[in-house]
Amino acid sequence: MDPRTLRSTFGRFATGVTVITCRTPDGTHHGATVTAFTPISLDPPLVQVALTRTSRAAAYLDGASFAVNVLAADQVDVAMHFAGRPSADPLPWCDGSVAPSLRGTAATITCRAHRTDDGGDHLLFLGEVVDVVSTDRRPLLFHDSAFHQIGRRSSDVVWLGCQDDPHTSWFGALVPADTHY
């Protein structure tokens, strides 16, 4: 598999943009821009972050509490700062009881370290959610190596009625035998 083709293909999947923040062993704040964030479980509340094995952030995150800062659409400069293009502007740090976080985000998910797993050239950090803050700010998106904003809604249809509806379909609810999808 050609890595460039694979990376380009992965880039066809639009993701949110997060900055993962933690404290370094000496107590300073550290952050890294990450698009490989996944909610995993509601019970227990778990999320996953994938970081390149060789990154400083991966070394700091191992066994450490962290915050997943879901960046707002107007925080491209923050995303770029934590992606390695530092800004001269002051960073919007907040001190948290478990991990440092950033102000002005669309949401912040604060986690205690749960487990670290092998993910090939990445490490997979599973965090147990201990606190969440959600705002009405629109999130920043990443697609095809560029930042984007959410546009108009495509539809008002939501979860109910889809084939994966946990109340009426294959996730475990009983579905009448004569139901066809």
Question: Phi and psi dihedrals of 149, rounded to 5?
Answer: -120, 155
Find, among 179, 36, 44, 12, the residue nearest to 121 by Cα.
36
pLDDT at 87: 84
Write out pLDDT tens, residues 111-132: 999 999 999 989 999 999 999 9
H/E element, 80: helix 76-82
**pLDDT digit string (tens) for 9-65?**
776 667 899 999 999 999 999 999 998 999 999 999 999 999 999 998 999 998 999
Whether the CB-CB separation of 105 and 71 falls below 8 Å is answered with yes
Mean pLDDT of the chain: 86
Given a cut of 50, is residue 180 above it in pLDDT? no
Taking 50 as the threshold, does the pLDDT of residue 90 lie above it? yes
Nearest to 38 by CA among 26, 46, 28: 46
| Ordered domains of the chain (ranges, CATH) | 3-149 (2.30.110.10)
Cα separation, 94 vs 6, whole angstroms: 37
- Dihedral, CA atoms, 161, 134, 47, 20, nearest 10 degrees? 140
Q: Which whole number is the average pLDDT over 63-78?
A: 96
Evaluate the CA torsion angle 54, 50, 45, 27 in order and state its sign.
positive
Structure tokens at 27: 């107590």
Predicted TM-score of the model (pTM) = 0.82
Residue 105 has pLDDT above 60, yes or no: yes
